[in-house]
Amino acid sequence: MGRVIGIDLGTTNSVIAFYEGSRSEVIAGTNGDRTTPSVVGRGSQGEWLVGEVAKRQMATRPQQTFYSLKRLMGLRFDEVADITNKLPYEVVRGEHDLACVRVDDKPMTPVEISAMILRALRDRAEEMLGESVERAVITVPAYFNDAQRQATRDAGKIAGLEVLRIINEPTAAALAYGLDSGQTKSIAVYDLGGGTFDISILNLADDVIEVLSTGGDTQLGGDDFDQAIIDWARQEFLEQTGVDLLEDPMARGRLKETAERAKVELSQSLESHLQVPFVATVDGVPQHLDLTLSRARFERLVQPLIDRTLECCLAALEDAGMQPLDVDDVVLVGGGTRVPSVQRAVEELFAKMPNKSVHPDEVVALGAAIQAGVLDGTVEDVLLLDVIPLSIGLETLGGVVTKVLERNTTVPARRSQIFSTVQDNQKSVNVHVVQGEREMAVDNRSLARFELTGIPAAKKGVPQIEVTFDVDADGILKVSARDLGTGVEQEVCVRDASNLSEDEVERMLAEAGERHEEDLARRRRAEARHTAEELLLNVEETLEKSLGRDVPTAECDRLRELCERVRDALENSVSSFEHDELVEATEALQEAAHRFADFIYQGSH
């Protein structure tokens, strides 16, 4: 059995890590990149692109480039209504009412597309570790409900991975952080990612990591900070030109890219320029977006979002029976925590400087790898006591919810409830399982409905059917039922009616397997093209800059010749034969470019 890997399947970026020796390590790609953008794109030739190459086509093919899919994972179409109009790609209603994206003319589930990210990560791990990788621990936001967890597990399965454990991101962060600390203390993990916000209050003592409470918002993250900038820029542009940029998907894609860049820049600078040339035309005249956003204005725009995160923190503290000052350490996780006003707000709330010793982008994957190490026996003596994020209950008379498992119950957990009949000779009982904190069933998320059948004829209230709710260590619910009178076990299937069925997952797994070789070849081709294009641009720029400098003409001519060869190969690279030529031409150009660089630097001494 090969080793188990840890995967942080992030909204924006994903990271993969493994445990070896006495520490976990991030598995970098061949070009040294430690994170992979969680972006999947359908290229112009119908090929699937994953990661950096997919992200690069975001502005030019916005409707076929899928990002932030984690915000749609496992949810129904109606549940994502408020985010779909902010996405440049189309979200459609798929089978079982699932939120799907439109790929060409067909709906595709976010699960299937996320599986491609996981598959690419798995390929990377296999390539870098030189062994086959079949088992993984995957992290999810603590606030993910049962359906979202199931969906994540299904995505792993479609990627050919046996998902040994789903763990909460903040718990993983604490695991990575806690193993080194060796102290007894309470910590708060404040995790602001691309699409989700999580807060967890944990207790670390003697290699036991106990989650005391968890909270957050699955629809609040760095994307919303970008959106605040987009809304502001859109309004400014509308006032200047009368053009609404959000009506054009291409302009929307470019604006999104620019807004995110501005946000990141504002973490360092006090001002950022948003420039999108030729973004629209008015009466045949091209219009350019050119705005300046100060950090102060940005902070005002995002303050309501930061306030929402603080409210979640206070609620989680209350659930843990603590005050902000009781927390010994605050750990920041996720790219969103790089925003200075976020750090300030957290510092003010907890009255202490947040701990920045752990890398916010990698800590979750590192923690997942530790858990992976625990599961494959490499790591000893770490006990993880996680909790369920939302109460699980049953709809009872009048549509009221009776809670069976309260939120923040430590998992694994098991509770039983006795059911009976309300009529004489009643043969079956309907059970509706919901998840959430609201009083009425309709206001919570419906997890499953099932029918207990085959009840022997008896007077009402006499039959006793014991229904047992088991939440496993992944936070996923399983239900079993037993007729106490006859001792007969009832088959209960709790697959969410709007989730993928086992058959569908199997079908997708088979399809992904069939597609894999072809996809891999296509991906390699796309990556080779991008490498060639970048090198070409780089060399041409170098040649231009070195004009008039003391470089042998023969070297310049050789470089130009090789550029021409790469350009030709780029034009022809469709078949695998021509693809080989592209790779060879690129390598030759790379080698010559290095030699050329030696000349330049020797000449400059």
Annotated catalytic residues are: 8, 70, 169, 191
Shortest CB 537 distance to ligand AMP, Å? 25
CB 407 within 8 A of CB 392: no
Report if residue 141 touches ligand AMP, rule: CB under 6 A. no
Q: Which of 45, 86, 54 is nearest to 253 (CA)?
A: 86
Q: Which residues contact 412 (CB under 8 A, 6 or more apart)?
A: 470, 471, 472, 473
Number of residues interacting with ligand AMP: please give it, by CB under 6 A: 18
SS (H, E, C) 397-422: HHHEEEEEECCCCECCEEEEEEECCC
* Distance set, CA 360 to CA 174, 257, 498 (Å): 12, 22, 34
Shortest CB 228 distance to ligand AMP, Å? 12
Q: Which is nearer to ligand AMP, 13 or 145 (CB)?
A: 13
- Which listed range, 8-16, 88-96, 147-155, 401-409, lies at the site for ligand AMP (CB under 6 A)? 8-16
Residue 582 has which token pair? 């592209």
**Residues numbered 237-276 forming contacts with ligand AMP, rule: CB under 6 A:** 260, 263-264, 267
Most distant CA pair in the chain, distance: 102
Shortest CB 342 distance to ligand AMP, Å? 8
The residue whose two tokens read 């570790």 is 129
Q: By three-state DSSP, how is residue 210 classified?
A: strand
Q: Which is nearer to ligand AMP, 260 or 483 (CB)?
A: 260
DSSP 8-state code for residue 65: E
Shortest CB 166 distance to ligand AMP, Å? 17
**Residues numbered 215-234 forming contacts with ligand AMP, rule: CB under 6 A:** 222-223
- What is the x/- site pattern for ligand AMP, positions 277-316, by CB under 6 A? ----------------------------------------
Q: Which is nearer to ligand AMP, 138 or 392 (CB)?
A: 138
Q: Which is nearer to ligand AMP, 367 or 463 (CB)?
A: 367
Shortest CB 36 distance to ligand AMP, Å? 10
Per-position DSSP letters for 92-150, written without gaps between them = EE-GGGBEEEEETTEEE-HHHHHHHHHHHHHHHHHHHHTS---EEEEEE-TT--HHHHH
Q: Which is nearer to ligand AMP, 170 or 335 (CB)?
A: 335
* C-alpha–C-alpha distance, residues 386 and 590, integer Å: 50
Shortest CB 117 distance to ligand AMP, Å? 13
Shortest CB 543 distance to ligand AMP, Å? 34
Shortest CB 365 distance to ligand AMP, Å? 11
**Residues numbered 479-508 forming contacts with ligand AMP, rule: CB under 6 A:** none
Q: Which residues contact 442 (CB under 8 A, 6 or more apart)?
A: 399
Q: Which is nearer to ligand AMP, 305 or 500 (CB)?
A: 305
**Residues numbered 357-396 forming contacts with ligand AMP, rule: CB under 6 A:** 361
- What is the x/- site pattern for ligand AMP, positions 150-189, by CB under 6 A? ----------------------------------------
- Which listed range, 5-13, 72-80, 134-142, 300-308, lies at the site for ligand AMP (CB under 6 A)? 5-13
Choosing from 4, 5, 9, 10, the residue that interacts with ligand AMP (CB under 6 A) is: 10
Choosing from 194, 215, 373, 436, the residue that interacts with ligand AMP (CB under 6 A) is: 194
CB atoms within 10 A of CB 550: 10
Shortest CB 10 distance to ligand AMP, Å? 4
**Residues numbered 309-338 forming contacts with ligand AMP, rule: CB under 6 A:** 334-336, 338
Q: Which is nearer to ligand AMP, 8 or 329 (CB)?
A: 8
Q: Which is nearer to ligand AMP, 37 or 436 (CB)?
A: 37
* C-alpha–C-alpha distance, residues 467 and 486, integer Å: 14
Report if residue 51 touches ligand AMP, rule: CB under 6 A. no
Residue 82 has which token pair? 């408020």
Shortest CB 121 distance to ligand AMP, Å? 14
Count the alpha carbons within 13 Å of 377 in the hemisphere toward its beta carbon: 2
* Distance set, CA 214 to CA 337, 409, 410 (Å): 18, 10, 11
Choosing from 13, 272, 446, 499, the residue that interacts with ligand AMP (CB under 6 A) is: 13
Report if residue 11 touches ligand AMP, rule: CB under 6 A. yes
Residue nearest to ligand AMP (CB): 222
Q: By three-state DSSP, how is residue 171 classified?
A: helix
Q: Which is nearer to ligand AMP, 43 or 141 (CB)?
A: 141
Q: What angle do CA 436, 440, 445 make, to 5 degrees?
A: 35
Q: Is 430 exposed, middle or buried (0-12, 13-18, 19+ CB in 10 A)?
A: exposed
* C-alpha–C-alpha distance, residues 315 and 297, integer Å: 28
* Distance set, CA 197 to CA 107, 170, 312 (Å): 28, 10, 9
The radius of gyration of the chain from alpha carbons, rounded to an integer in Å, stands at 27
- What is the x/- site pattern for ligand AMP, positions 519-538, by CB under 6 A? --------------------
**Residues numbered 427-456 forming contacts with ligand AMP, rule: CB under 6 A:** none
Q: Which is nearer to ligand AMP, 36 or 371 (CB)?
A: 36
Q: What angle do CA 536, 538, 542 make, to 5 degrees?
A: 115
* Residue numbers at the binding site for ligand AMP (CB under 6 A): 10-13, 193-194, 222-223, 260, 263-264, 267, 334-336, 338-339, 361
